[in-house]
Structure formats: C-alpha cells, structure tokens
Amino acid sequence: MTLPVEQLKEMLASAPDGFELSAEKLAVAEAEPLFTDFLGGDLVLDTAQGDPDRLTVRGELSADAAELTGLPAVVRFATDDDDTVVTGLEIAVAWPTWDIKTPFLDRGLGLLGSLGFASAYVVLEAAPDGFGRLVPMAVPGAGLAVDGAYVKFLDQGEPDRATVVGEFGDGLSFDSLSALAELPFIGSGVMDRFVLPDPVRSALSRVLVKDMSAMFDWSAPAFSQVSVDLALDTRGGWTLLDGLLSLDEFSAWLQLAPGPDGAPTVSGGLGARLSVGTSVSMTAGVTLPDLGVSATADRPEGGADLVSGHLPDDLARAVTELDYLYVRCDVPTLTYLLAIGLDLHQSAAAADGHW
C-alpha cells in the first residue's frame, strides 16, 4: 500500500530521532530507481528536522552513495489531489562546490555563480509531473540567496538549452517589487517597468515570489521567456465603485521576453478577489496598464441576494441562485457592466408553485 499522508506526518514529527524511508515503505514503483540508482539504498537523514504541515524534512544525508553522505539535504513530498497518499518526493542536496561529479550527474555550474546564484544543488526527483507521469531523474540546481530556495535546470534534449523551474512553497519574501532585482532570473532595472496601479502600489507591504519558469542558454549564459507568479500583501483593498465593486487579496504575474534593444520586455497582470455588493466574491483579472477588470462565475454563492431587491416579489422569492454572473469594469472611466443569468424557466415555475 502506498504510504498514507497521515503516517508520513507522524514520521516527520518524530524526525529528530532520525528519519528513514525505504522504497518499499514509499510503495511507488516508479520511484524505486531514485533509491537504487541515486541513493544506493534507503533515504536516511541524521540530525533531521521535519515539518508535518509542509510535508518536508531536512538534515544530513547518510547514504550508501558515498558522494552524498554527510551533505545537507531538504526532502519535499508530493501527494494526490485529496492529500491522502504520498505520490513521490524530491531531494535537494546542497553540493559543496560548483563542480558536480557523481556517477549519475556530472556538470560544472561555475557560470551560475557569476550570474548571482549562491550555491550548487543536486536535485533527485521522483514525483509526478503535470500529466501524472513519474520519471526519476537527477538534475543540477542552483541556490538563491533568499530563504535557502533553489531552482532546477531540466534537460531539453539540446546541449545548450534547459528549462528552469522554481517552486517556492509559501513564497520568497521581499519588501518591495524593486527588491526582486536580486533574483538572477530577473536582474536590475526590470521591475521598474512593471507598474502597479497607485492604490495597490501605495498599499503594498510585502511581495511573495511563489514560482517561476524560464528557458536558459548555457552557452550565453542567459535567461529568456521568464514567467514569475507573485502574491502581493497589501494594507487594505481597492474600492472601484463604493458599495458595488472592490478588490483585495492581490496576486500578480509577469513575463520577461527578449526585446529589440537587448533589454527584456516586461508584461503582466493582476489577479484579485472582486467583491460585488456585499454578498458575492469572485476571482478577477486586472489587465495592465489599461486597468480593465473582468470576472465570471457560474452559480456564485450569494448571487440571489445581489438581485433580490431588483426583481418582482414572486420571482425574487423563487430565485435561490444565479445561473452565472459576469462583471466588467473599465477603471479609468469607471464604466461597468454586470451581466446576470437567471434560469427563468425554473424560477417562473417555482413562483407559480410548480417544478
């Protein structure tokens, strides 16, 4: 039986007594090569610290593979959609030099140090991808000078090309957008061209980098096609139309692409929670720089309360929910559209006392 998440949490809680996991206990057949080919046996961590909430554990590896023994490592576990069973794991091993030499991975990463990365990693991965496929692999990684985070460099079948992926859990915390310049895949001056609306910018207290992806050219070396997802902590929300439309819980995405003058072009947008009246909340997108807000929801919770005061009494009593709600607002002109869908056949029948 595949390892239950609850049992893993118990193991993580008792990690200070030592953490050990075998391929047999994990019971994910596709992940077995990670243990046999990379670790040379069981996953064993000394002086371990587990986090049952985040399903992670860190410590020093005690592996049959001599080249890994004694190195600091962080292990992250993947689960199914219901968080009931463990479906895979990823082990990030901090490598002591920029030159990685193991029987399963041989790569010099010195050029990454010149780009601003802090250290080299050996990343051993056996977790399902977005299509549910699990292929154990050992890939080079590079550490960021923020919260011990790292990115992975995935082979693209071309000697000089790689896909770079970083997933940062709760997020890498920065005090401002401009501070993101210290990330090697963003660089100086870029965030000056990503302009937030004044009500969001003035209320911004913290920026969290949630994940990133990019293409990387080893021969240049340089990043391209960089995508970054952010969470924005703000002190309060943004009222668009008093009593009708307001935004809070902001997120952002940005993309960097090669520009004609060599400097990257910057594009992006915002996500937010849109409150409609006092009863409906929707997930909205905000285009930049034109500031168009749009949101669509099927059968939104609280939708009936939004329209009950605007319908004939019999119909208002019959409407228990909306079929759909579409909202569009042009912020510079404060013009807006609310499109509301009612199931008139059902509502009319209910108002008449029949279904």
Find the DSSP H helices in the chain: 5-13, 23-26, 32-33, 110-114, 198-203, 303-307, 313-318, 344-351
User: Tens digit of pLDDT for each residue in 301-313?
Assistant: 888 777 776 666 6
Which pLDDT belongs to residue 102?
Answer: 94
Which pLDDT belongs to residue 354?
Answer: 36
User: Tens digit of pLDDT for each residue in 233-266?
Assistant: 999 899 999 999 999 999 999 999 888 877 788 9
Rounded CA separation 145/172 (Å): 10
* Residue pair 109/98 in contact by the 8 Å Cβ criterion: yes
* Secondary structure class of 219 (helix, strand, coil): coil
Which pLDDT belongs to residue 349?
Answer: 42
User: Tens digit of pLDDT for each residue in 59-81?
Assistant: 999 977 789 999 999 999 999 99
User: Tens digit of pLDDT for each residue in 301-355?
Assistant: 888 777 776 666 666 666 767 889 999 999 999 999 999 887 765 544 444 433 3
For the chain, the 3-state helix, strand and coil shares in percent, each to the nearest 5, are 20, 45, 35
Average pLDDT estimate for 220-228: 93
Q: Taking 90 as the threshold, does the pLDDT of residue 89 lie above it?
A: yes
Which pLDDT belongs to residue 316?
Answer: 63
Q: List all residues 6 or more positions away from 238 whose beta carbon is below 8 Å from its beta carbon.
A: 197, 199, 200, 203, 246, 247, 248, 272
* Residue pair 55/85 in contact by the 8 Å Cβ criterion: no
Q: Taking 80 as the threshold, does the pLDDT of residue 203 lie above it?
A: yes
Q: In percent, how much of the chain has pLDDT > 70?
A: 93
Which pLDDT belongs to residue 132?
Answer: 86
Between residues 323 and 57, the one the model is more confident about = 57
User: Tens digit of pLDDT for each residue in 190-199?
Assistant: 898 899 999 9
DSSP state of 23: H
Which pLDDT belongs to residue 318?
Answer: 63
Strands 292-298 and 106-108: unpaired
Which pLDDT belongs to residue 179?
Answer: 93
pLDDT bin (cut points 50, 70, 90) of residue 131 is confident
Rounded CA separation 186/268 (Å): 14
| pTM of the predicted protein model | 0.88
Rounded CA separation 115/187 (Å): 9
Average pLDDT estimate for 27-52: 94
